[in-house]
Chains A and B, each alone.
Chain A
Amino acid sequence: MRKLTLLSALALGSAAAAQGQNLSGTVTVWSWDVAAKALQSTVPGFNKKYPNVKVNVVDLGNQNVYDRGLAGCAAGGADLPDVYSIENNEAEVFWARFPDCFTDLNTLGADRLVQNFPAFKWTELTANGRRYAMPWDSGPVVMFYRRDLYQQAGVNPATINTWDDFIAAGRKMNAKFGNGVKMATISNGQDDEWFRMLANQNGCFYFDNEARQVTVARPGCVAALNTIKRLYDANVVATGDWGGQITNIKAGKTAGAMFGAWYEGTVRTNAPDQRGKWGVFPMPASRVGGVRAANLGGSALAIPSASRNKAAAYAFLQHALGTTDGQVTMLKSQGLVPSLLAATRDPYAAQPQAYWGNQRIWQTVLNTLGDVPQARGTQYFQDARQVMIVVQSDFVKGRYKTAQEALNDAARKISSATGLPVAR
């Protein structure tokens, strides 16, 4: 029996190898920071299958990839790489402005992989019946928390099921540490991530999934904005931008953080001395029994139409993103959370993580993937975000009477910036 599987494995291996020999040339990949390092880590595995393809991962930095992609597309595909990294939220701007700049991956066989990824990851990557990019990592939202601080304040994370519970825990924290330790840091005036995470959890977003209407004034978003105000009014959260959040974590001024799970690497590498003190639990729900999942961030890989080596580029995409091997390699090396559903069942995801107090955090994270409501950045994402940053900060300051009033104003502003009607 064992010999048989070995033989068949060999046969399969040599068949794959024979196929792999056919592809050759160089595949240039543009990416950024940890994402580039993660892609680089999949190259040895890829080269086992395709020894004649040389993969050249170029780390341009996030902003440069976006800007040079724009310039390249505007110039009709000049100077673009074979594989292009793109953030989901920003993706639709490319499809809308430059519909012919990227290859329809269905023509290379991507339609066969559709079922392998959760539906919400495809929403922003398909337009006009074309599949422009393949899902890469995702940002399932979880609450990161300090075990030791929770314990000292007498808070059991297992009892935090709703935002009300979270606020009650924050009050205990305030009582214990004399207001010196907050439950988390919210970006206010610099970004609106918390609003987006909470709105997504409630099945609401700036726009509907058809990208035809502004839906930001709908009840789910109202609930989200109200929750943020309640957190502030209860004095259980601090304010800070990206750097401020990290500073608070390092200084022990916060007992937690809420972000896409890719924040795991950020906590781990910025506060190595807090090893073993951290844990993870699903984000609190809006009401008892409500959804405890959302998504923030995540990227995809596309193949520019100008690529001269599409077959090899697609083979790389398929290996890095479409196989458990590729996705788990990136999870291990840089903490990028796979969106490939099969990777959830990989043994590595079930392993306890030492930094996180030997908790099996990836299981907690990946288990939320199926519950994430769909949302769509649309090509107007940046306009809407800019409006929401200001409206959220004004609402927290008390410049509006109710969250509904604030979001009606936001909807009006987003509508005038985008030309899309406000949903009734």
Chain B
Amino acid sequence: MTTVPAPRRSRRRVPSAPYLFILPYLLIFATFWAWPIVSSFLMSFRDSRLGATAPFGFANWSRLVGDEFFLTALRNTLLILVLQVPIMLTLATALAVALNSRLLKLRGLFRFAFFAPLVVGTVAYSAVFRLLFNSDFGMVNRGLTGLGLGPVDWLNQPGPAMAVIILAMTWRWTGYNAIILLAGLQGISEEVYEAAAIDGATPWQQFWKITLPLLRPTLLFCVVLSIIGTLQLFTEPALITNSGPGNATMTLGTYLYQQGFRSFNFGYASAIAYTVAALAAIFSAIQLRLFGRES
């Protein structure tokens, strides 16, 4: 009985001034962040192909299920996810360990070198990859021919085109992940390694028994970031292969763009966008559940 009025009194005393101060921010946040998110969700239930967006029910959502283009985009995106992310993170881990080594000289230079691809503009690097993999005049085919291997029609064949996308993404993002992992490595105490060395553990054993388990939170962070990034993948397939040949490298991102900004079908594009968001949430949740618990 006696405790109840006390919080009530203190609540009354809460001044309104702080809220007035953050009110402009809240208004901007609601207008430019929260409302578009709600609005695009509402739009996914409308037929944006008519001048006035007409109510449409679940037509956009049910179209997703039977839309072969969407399914192709989904399949391509998942293929990249399953192939590229493990390759990249394995490379990044190896790189991070190498960059962390005491034996390495000019460490700063190497760290910069592997991080540098991220500094290059996506459009510029995509253009360079297009040139490198040009079938007739590209350096890659020149090299292959020089080695006695036949040239590959990189950008006009489905398999090779996908390989180029995966290569390009790996080139750009491995260094970035390596730097994050490096930060994780430096958080591992030296004493643990010293103790292991005294116990006679080989470097290989140290890596598997100490480095990897202790690096797990950082790796998990990289995995989740990569999954979200891959699900939103747009620049590389849009600029290097133009989703082609056919739709062999079309991703959810490029299909969303095509529906939204080529066909002006914003309702359907919104449905795709929400599917991507849902997938990202689901995959991240699975990752956190499987690998995040113990840490």
Contacts and interface: CB of A to CB of B under 8 A. Distances in A.
Specify whether A and B are partners. Answer: yes
Interface string B26-43: 000000000000000000
Interface residues of A, number: 29
Interface string B119-160: 000000000000000011100000000000000000010000
B67 A97 contact: no
Contacts of A239: 156
A368 B51 CA distance: 36
A247 B263 contact: no
A390 B250 CA distance: 12
A379 interface: yes
Given A96-B51, A190-B244, A390-B246, A416 B264 contact: no
Given A98-B51, A241-B244, A382-B262, 11 more contacts: A67-B261, A97-B49, A97-B264, A244-B156, A247-B136, A247-B137, A386-B247, A386-B258, A390-B246, A413-B68, A417-B67
Nearest to A248: B136
Given A96-B49, A99-B51, A189 B245 contact: yes
Nearest to A251: B136
Interface string B244-266: 11111000000000100111100
Given A386-B258, A413-B68, A393 B49 contact: no
A96 B264 CA distance: 10
Interface in A263-315: none
Interface string A96-110: 111100000000000
A380 interface: yes
B209 interface: no
Interface of A: 67, 70, 93, 96-99, 188-190, 239-241, 244, 247, 251, 379-380, 382-383, 386-387, 389-390, 393-394, 413, 416-417
B49 A416 contact: no
Nearest to B50: A96
B67 A93 contact: no
Interface of B: 48-51, 63, 66-69, 135-137, 156, 242, 244-248, 258, 261-264
Contacts of B248: 189
Nearest to A253: B136
Contacts of B63: 416
B246 A383 contact: no
Nearest to B260: A70
B156 A383 contact: no
A93 B263 contact: yes
A97 B245 contact: no
Nearest to B244: A190
Given A96-B49, A189-B156, A393 B263 contact: no
A262 B207 CA distance: 64
Interface residues of A: mostly helix, strand, loop or mixed?
A: helix
A413 B63 CA distance: 11
Contacts of B49: 96-97, 379
B245 A190 contact: yes
B265 to A, nearest CB: 8
A96 B49 CA distance: 7
B69 A386 contact: yes
A380 B263 contact: yes
Contacts of B136: 244, 247, 251
A206 to B, nearest CB: 13
A244 B51 CA distance: 39
A128 to B, nearest CB: 10
B270 to A, nearest CB: 14
A416 B66 contact: yes
Contact of A416 (B67, B258, B262): B67
> Which 4 pairs of residues, A with B, have the shortest CB-CB distance?
A189-B245, A390-B246, A382-B262, A189-B246
Contacts of A98: 51
A413 B263 CA distance: 15
A271 to B, nearest CB: 15
Contact of A390 (B51, B135, B247): B247
16 contacts: A93-B264, A96-B49, A96-B50, A97-B49, A188-B245, A189-B244, A190-B242, A241-B156, A247-B137, A382-B258, A382-B262, A386-B69, A389-B246, A393-B245, A394-B246, A416-B67
Nearest to B161: A189
Nearest to A97: B264
A414 to B, nearest CB: 11
A178 B18 CA distance: 83
A380 B51 CA distance: 14
Contacts of B69: 386-387, 417
A240 B245 CA distance: 11
Contacts of B67: 416-417
A190 B250 CA distance: 12
A164 B254 CA distance: 39
Nearest to B262: A382
Nearest to B47: A419
A93 B261 CA distance: 11
